[in-house]
Amino acid sequence: MLRRVLAVLAAVVLTASLTVPAAPADAATAQWLRTSGAKIQVAATGATFTVKATSWFGMETDTCAPHGLWSISLKQGMAQIAGMGFNTIRLPFANECLTRKTANSVSQALNPTLATASPLKIMDAVVATARAYGIRVILDRHRPGTDAQSELWYTPQYSEKRWISDWKMLAQRYRNNSTVIGVDLHNEPRGAACWGCGDRSRDWQAAAVRAGNAVLDVNPHLLVIVEGVQNGPDGSATWWGGNLRGVAKKPVTLKVKNRVVYSPHEYPSSISDQPWFHNADYPANLPGVWESNWGYIASKKIAPVLIGEFGTKLQTSSDKKWLAKLVGYIKDRGLGWAYWSFNPNSGDTGGLLKDDWVTRDKDKLAALKPILTPKKVAYPAAPAPAPAPLPPQPSPQPSQPGNTPPPTVGQSSSASSNGVSATLTVSSAWPGKYQVALALTASSSAKVKAWTASWASPGATGADSAWGMACRVTKPGTASARVACSGTEWGVANLSQGARVEVGAILNASKPPAKPVLSLSVTR
């Protein structure tokens, strides 16, 4: 499922605590892992290692750095993750960022050594900082380019050869660093992707074997994490990357044994409706759904299962029931997991932090308590300000509690066309970018074939990323610049009578439009 990145203007910077803690005892002695049946183990001792992770995203977007570094330091973020009780982070990245010379939206004041660093150097810093806090790292190839996710593991711009080559490069880069425990080969294969169908151009199971073996040729100690597909070989359909039914007959078998971990993604009804959410016995029916799609892999001790993404804003009764049932399922079976997300700026789920990048979401952490135990970690103070500003481009500066977002944030505009109504909201802004949310509701039963929404955005230069739609800017960089976004994939397919679809985008602009006026065109 497409991750909806909602960039939020930071408002508070913590100054609590005084020093960076000494590295925990296990940080300097981190050991390689292996699989044994349904368990992940420390290779040297056989002790069970249960992955308890959260995703800190941003390196897969045009920022090419973990989000929030405009508001907190890398050490502050990692201290939060360790303090919440996590032992691993899942680090999404885009291949495009691996060759970029610089990242952006990294505060010089808060992260002086990272503001001008390359994305690869920032990745090195994430790994080093994670190690200092006793946290392991899973590298997640989330996107080929920073503009969008892809159904398959390759695109016209990023070939399979490039995909494998980049994985080999990263495996070599961290070959002697057991902090990096695994590689999540490709995020959420879907659509045309099949499992074991024999068509080299779309057979994800076969591609995972090719990439997995290539990675292990470089570093035989890594775990190879393989997500599912959307459509199973038996005709069943579920979440993007969530269908692992094909493993029963065609598992991923690599040259190095005891390295494969299967990783489905699971989400609640607030993300996208599914038939099982309407069963009379919901949520008691959920374990059966999970067992059929992927749980059997662990139950039959074929391989470990790591639930690579799950998350919710925890605002509906259905979502609360779903999360409680999933947490119980994870606990009872001793599964590994990675919560989406640490960031507050995931548009569909929110995160474990509030929008200030400091305050913890107590309700979500309480819901995770059966599988997550917080620990005491000293929170580092922000670095002292540099004597003179040195950033190569404007960087967000820490604001004080009580500051309010720009007056344009929260501005909205509505329009309707051909039985579809839409509301555009400027949901957040920060230096050089702003975020919009677009909610569409269909009142007619006639199928929506296409829609386009547009608005004036003086000075806009392009789209950073979008979900549920594709965006372009005409007359970029001028006073006449205009954004036009057209629905794609679920942004169109889910727009049935009475249904509400929420899509969005991040735009590159010095400031949001003061009073956006929405235009909408719908084709049925």
Which residues participate in catalysis according to the annotation? 188, 309
- CB-CB contact of 293 with 234 (8 Å): no
What pairs with residue 203 in β-bridges?
194
- Evaluate whether 497 touches 422 at the Cβ level (below 8 Å): no
Cα 464 vs. chain centroid, distance in angstroms?
A: 15
Cβ atoms 156, 135 nearer than 8 A: no
User: Do the bridges between strand 462-467 and strand 500-508 make them parallel or antiparallel, or are there none, so unpaired?
Assistant: antiparallel
Distance CA 49, CA 33 (A): 8
Nearest to 520 by CA among 421, 441, 382, 429: 421
Q: Which amino acid is at 185?
A: L
Compute the half-sphere exposure of residue 173: CA atoms within 13 Å on the CB side of its CA: 17
**Phi, psi (deg, nearest 5) at residue 192:** -70, -20
Q: Answer yes or no: are the C-beta atoms of 66 and 57 closer than 8 Å.
A: yes
SS3 assignment for 477-490? CCCCCEEEEEECCH
Q: Count the residues in the chain.
A: 524
User: CA–CA separation, 425 vs 504, rounded Å?
Assistant: 9
Alpha carbon separation from 326 to 12, 81, 87, 242, 302 (Å, rounded): 33, 21, 20, 14, 21
Q: What is the identity of the amino acid at 488?
A: T
3-state secondary structure 330-385: HHHHCCEEEECCCCCCECCCCCCECCCCCCECHHHHHHCHHHCCCCCCCCCCCCCC
CB 109 within 8 A of CB 398: yes
The CA angle 320-92-432, to the nearest 5 degrees, is 95
The tokens describing 302, both together, are: 């074929």
CA 456, 458, 462, 463 dihedral sign is negative
Of residues 141, 137, 138, the one with CA closest to residue 164: 141
Which tokens belong to 346?
A: 């995931």
76 sits in which H/E element:
helix 74-84
Contact between 447 and 419 (Cβ < 8 Å): no
Residue 184 · residue 307 · CB < 8 Å: no
Instruction: Reduce the DSSP state of residue 214 to 3 states and report it.
Output: helix
Element spanning 467, H or E: strand 462-467
